[in-house]
Structure 1
Amino acid sequence: MDFNDLFVNIQWADIWTACGETLYMVAISTLFTALIGLPLGVLVVLTSPGHLLQNRLVYAVLSFIINIFRSIPFIILLIMLIPFTQILVGTSIGVTAAIPPLVIGSAPFFARLVEVSLREVDKGVIEMAQSMGATTWQIISRVLLPEARSGIIAGITITLVALVGYTAMAGVIGGGGLGDLAIRFGYQRFQTDVMIVTTVIMIVLVQVFQTLGDKLVRRFNRK
């Protein structure tokens, strides 16, 4: 059997277009996830009992909101957010429409990873900075974030890998990318070769992201 016969249904132009759409969704979603999740994670830590800006009410509210969105399966969240996405971007299908639920689904997850990393910072370092008259912002920017840098990078890597899987699920509602191609052709039209190729490409993307993230973590590890 000829090698090409094994992939008779493959339209490589469509594959590469879908790959580009997936990378676009992952890149934009990761950017906004970091912009939202990082300050959210910092705020959760600072307002927690015994910390710099201790506020039990704010801490409880933030934790509650984060836990709600983390507990909703992403496929259900996609469907729930269709009206919101329609209002925000003017459509509920396509690559752009997939980004809002991707961000809303991943930002709370990343915020928790940031929280875990910041809580690992030695409290003695924070107390020393306080004794030297450092402001809260100086402690955040010069102590907490630099000390937790490798952990935050690891958190971004984990989130990035999770977003690759989320983009595949977004294909269920016509979100575009490799997931959409796999569902429309691989599953609905029983084109197994399309399913195999899209799956392999996504595995490769995950491996690349994880490898690069691990290298950055080792490079910036302060311990």
Structure 2
Amino acid sequence: MNKEKRHQILTRLRDDNPHPETELEYSSPFELLVAVTLSAQATDVGVNKATRKLFPVANTPQAILDLGHDTLRDYIKTIGLFNSKAANVYKMCQILVDEHNSIVPENREALEALPGVGRKTANVVLNTAFGWLKDNEGRYFLAVDTHIQRLANRSGYAKGKTVEQTEQAIIKNTPNKKEFMFNLHHWFILHGRYTCTARKPKCGSCIIEDLCDYKEKTES
């Protein structure tokens, strides 16, 4: 795949969805941080069902602490791995209160130091909640999950055996970064989630099928 094809892929995805948004429901950086933390190995639909009940009751670090660990766990028990996630969110809230004055830090290293927060979660929060494209050292905030990794590798847009390798390959290969990088995460994750699906991609209805290098295309 060459630069021109990549530019066409991004242009088509942008034209199809000029203002993409995360499907997680949130109204503050803290709510998004919690939602993304809960979304690991879970669907956005499932997370939203839980947070629609949780956030009206507790949507700040102190409110979560006041709620108590066991009650927090009850609110999110419909989500996979809810025991470990409840423990992580509760510990996260304690650190935010004690070390960050209850404010979500706008710093990748500080975010990754929070329990349950990895590189992907930090990048989502910085990009989506705070509107950051890259940090002061020029490092882009691009969150890569399984959908994005599958789409990038399958299409030939960028190759990487691990999520981090794929992240770096996408950043390296993306043309006109100022134009496309900010929304690339959303375009790729939505396309991977609903069109370039894992078991049977919907190649026949894909708007970038003719630009994709995937050799086992389907007709549906």
Same fold (TM over 0.5): no
Q: Which has the larger Rg?
A: 1
Q: Which has the higher contact order (CA 8 A, sep 6+)?
A: 1
Give the structure-2-normalised TM-score. 0.32
More helix by share: 1
Give the structure-1-normalised TM-score. 0.32
